Amino acid sequence: MTQKQKSLIGGVSILGIAGLICKIVGVLYRIPLAHLIGPTGMGIYHKVFPAYNLLLTISSAGIPVAISRMVSHYVTKDQPGNARRIFRMALSMLCALGLITTVLLMVFSGSVAAWQGTKAAAAGYLCIAPSLFCVCAMSAYRGYMQGKRHMLPTAISQLIEQVGKVAIALPLAAVGMAKGGVAWGAAGALLGSTIGEAAALLYMMWQHRRAAKGEGTLQRESEEMLHGKTIAQRLIAVSIPITLGACIVPLAGFIDSVMLTQLMEKAGMAAEDALIRYGAYSGPVLTLINVPTALAMAMSTNLVPSIASGLARGDMDYVKRETATGLRLSTVIGFPCSIGMSLLAKPLLYLCYRGSYTAPQLDVAAELLTISSLTIVLFTMVQATSGILQGAGKQRIPMYTLLIGVVLKIALNYTLVGIPGVDIHGAPWASLLCYTASMIPNLYFVCKHTGYRFHLMDVLVKPLGCSAVMGGVVFALWHFLFGDPGKLHGAWLLVGILLCVIAGVAVYAALAIFTKTIRKEDVPAKLRRFFK
C-alpha cells in the first residue's frame, strides 16, 4: 500500500477526481437524454429513482461502511486473515440483500408507480431492479478495498458505471422511444444503467481476484481468527444504525416524489405541469448540485477508515488532525461551489437544457438552482461530520440528526409547496432547513467525541471570505460582459461560463493560498512543488 493511498488527501483526491468526472458525465448524459425523451419522459425517469435509491440504501449503505471500518481496524492491528473473513461474510450478506430487494422491486413495480401517481414508471422499475443486486455485491468489494485504503479500484468502477450510461443507455432510450413512447424511452435509459452497474461489478471482481493473488498468505501465526457468528453480529451492530441513517435522505426523496406533485395539483396546477416541474427540480437542478457533492462523498468515504485506524492505534492526536483537515476541506470545497453555482445557475441551465425545456421552465429551474446550490456546503459538512462519527463508532448520532432534519424538511414542504405561487419553490428552502438542522448537532458531537476544538477562523471565516470575493468577481464578469443568458447563443454561453469559472477559480485559489485557507499539505503530493 502506497503512502498516497494511506493518506486522507491522497484518498480524497483519487475518489474526488473520479467522482467529479462521473457527476459531470452524468450531467452531460442527461442533456441528450432530455432531447430524446422530452420533459415528460424526464419526469417519469426521475420518478423511479427515489424508490430505487431507498431500496438501494436499505440493502447496501450500512454494511460497506461497516466493512471499511472493521477492515481498517484489523489491517492496522496486522490481522489480514480477519479482514478477509469480514469481507467474505459481508459479501454473502450483501448478495442476499441485493437479491431480495431486486425481487421486491420487480414484484411491486406497478404498485409503487401507481402510488406515486405515475403508472408509466412501472416499466422503468422493472428495468432498473436488477442493478440493486449488482450494486449490493459491488459495495462489498468497494468496502473491503476502501478499508485497506485502496481507493483506485472504486474510482475506476465508478467511471465504468458512467461510461455504461452514455454508451448503452442512450441507444436503448432511443429504441424505447421508437417502440413505445416516452415511458419506454425512460425505461430503456434505466436498463442501460443496470448494464453499466453489471460491468462495474465484473471489474471489481476481477480486481479483487488479481489483488488476492499478489497478497500471498492472509493469516499471521499469532492471529486469533474471528468466528463467523461474531463477524456477522459485529457487521449487523455497526451497519444497522448507519443504514437507518442513510435511509433517511432517500426516504425523504421518495416522500417528495409522492408529495410534491400531489401538493401542486391540489393547489390547482395541471398534472402534466406538476410532473414537468418536479422533473426539472429532481433532474437538471439536483443533477448539477450533485457534481460538487462528489467531493463530499469522497471525503466521507476516506474519513471512516482514517478515523477508525487512528482510534485502533490509540493515536488521538492523529484523530484530531484528520478531523480538523476533514472539516476544513469540507468548507474550503463547499463554500465556493455553493456561491459559484448559485450565481451561474441560469447560464448553466440554459447551456445544458435549452432545447429540452422551454424558456419559462428553465427560468423556474434557475430560481430553484439558485437557492438549492446553497445546500452544497451544508451537505458537505454533514457528510464530513457523519464520516468522522461513523469512524469513531458513533454511527447512531448522524442517524438521529438526519432524522430530525428530514422531519423538518417534510413539514416545511407540506407547508410551502401547497401554496399557489410558491409550489415547487418551497422544496429547496426545506432542504436548506434539513441540512442545517443536521449539521449543527453533528459538529457538536464531533468535537465531543474526538477532542477536536472547533476553529471558527479556519473552518468558516476564511473559506467564506475568499468565496465572497470570488463571488463578487464572477457576478461582475457575467452581468457586465454577458447579461441575459436567454439572449445568448450556445457558444457565447459556454465562453461566458468558462471565463467566469476560470476567473473565479484563479481568484479563490490566490486568496486561499495567500490567507492560508488552503495549505501545502491539503493538496496531493505531486502538486506540492508548486507551493512556495
Q: What is the pLDDT of residue 10?
A: 55
pLDDT at 299: 66
Helices within 392-521 (DSSP H only): 396-416, 426-450, 456, 462-481, 490-514
Are the beta carbons of 263 and 418 closer than 8 angstroms?
yes
Domain total in the chain: 1
Buried b (16+ CB within 10 A) or exposed e, 409-422: bbebbeebbbeeeb
pLDDT lower than 50: segments of the chain: 1-6
Comparing C-alpha atoms, which of 195, 134, 203 is closest to residue 170?
195
Residue 193 lies in a domain: no
HSE (CB half, 13 Å, CA atoms) of 161? 22
The whole-angstrom separation of Cα 14 and Cα 11 is 5
Residue-level pLDDT at 214: 60
Residue 464 lies in a domain: yes
Amino acid symbol at 211: A
From the CB of residue 234, how many other CB atoms can be counted at a distance below 10 Å? 16
Cell of 266: 391540489
pLDDT at 505: 92
Runs of H (alpha helix) within 129-169:
130-147, 152-164
CB-hemisphere CA count at 13 Å for 258?
Answer: 13
Q: What is the largest CA-CA distance in the chain?
A: 73
Q: For residues 379 and 293, is the Cβ–Cβ distance under 8 A?
A: yes
Distance CA 4, CA 393 (A): 25
Q: Alpha-carbon distance 173 to 31, whole Å? A: 13
Tallying the residues shown for the chain, one arrives at: 532
Residue 107: inside a domain: no
Whole-number pLDDT of residue 476: 94
CA–CA distance, 424 with 364 (Å, rounded to integer): 9
What's the DSSP call for residue 354?
B
What's 119's DSSP letter?
Answer: G
Question: What is the DSSP secondary-structure string of 20-34?
Answer: HHHHHHHHHHHHHHH
3-state SS assignment for residue 234? helix
CA trace torsion 26, 30, 31, 32 (10° rounding): 110
Q: Write the pLDDT tens digit of every residue in 31-66.
A: 788 888 888 888 888 788 777 777 777 766 677 777
Q: How far is CA 18 from CA 15, 202, 286, 298, 373, in A?
A: 5, 18, 19, 9, 21
Q: 357 forms bridges with which residues in the sheet? A: 354
Helix locations, 344-425, DSSP H:
345-353, 359-372, 375-391, 396-416
Task: DSSP letter for 79, please.
Answer: -
CB–CB of 86/231 below 8 Å?
yes
> What residues contact 507, with CB distance under 8 A and at least 6 apart?
469, 470, 473
- Nearest residue to 113 via CA among 180, 43, 169, 177: 43
357 three-state secondary structure: strand
Quick: pLDDT tens for 264-318: 888 778 877 887 788 788 778 887 887 777 776 666 667 777 787 788 788 888 8
Instruction: Tell me if 110 is assigned to some domain.
Output: no
- Asked whether residue 47 is domain-assigned, the answer is no
The pLDDT score that the predictor gives to residue 501 is: 92
Nearest to 367 by CA among 280, 430, 432: 280
> Contact, 270 vs 422, CB < 8 A?
no
Map grid coordinates 434539513 to a residue.
Answer: 434
Owning domain of residue 321: 255-532
| C-alpha pair distances (Å), 73 with each of 67, 79, 152, 297, 391 | 10, 9, 20, 21, 10
Q: Is residue 131 part of a domain?
A: no
Q: Is the separation of the CB atoms in 468 and 339 below 8 Å?
A: yes
Give the span between the Cα atoms of 8 and 149, in whole angstroms: 9
Residue 116 lies in a domain: no
- Grid cell locating 291: 457534481
Query: Residue 459: inside a domain, yes or no?
Result: yes
Contacts of 433 (CB under 8 A, 6+ apart): 405, 408, 409, 412
What pTM, to 2 d.p., does this model score?
A: 0.70
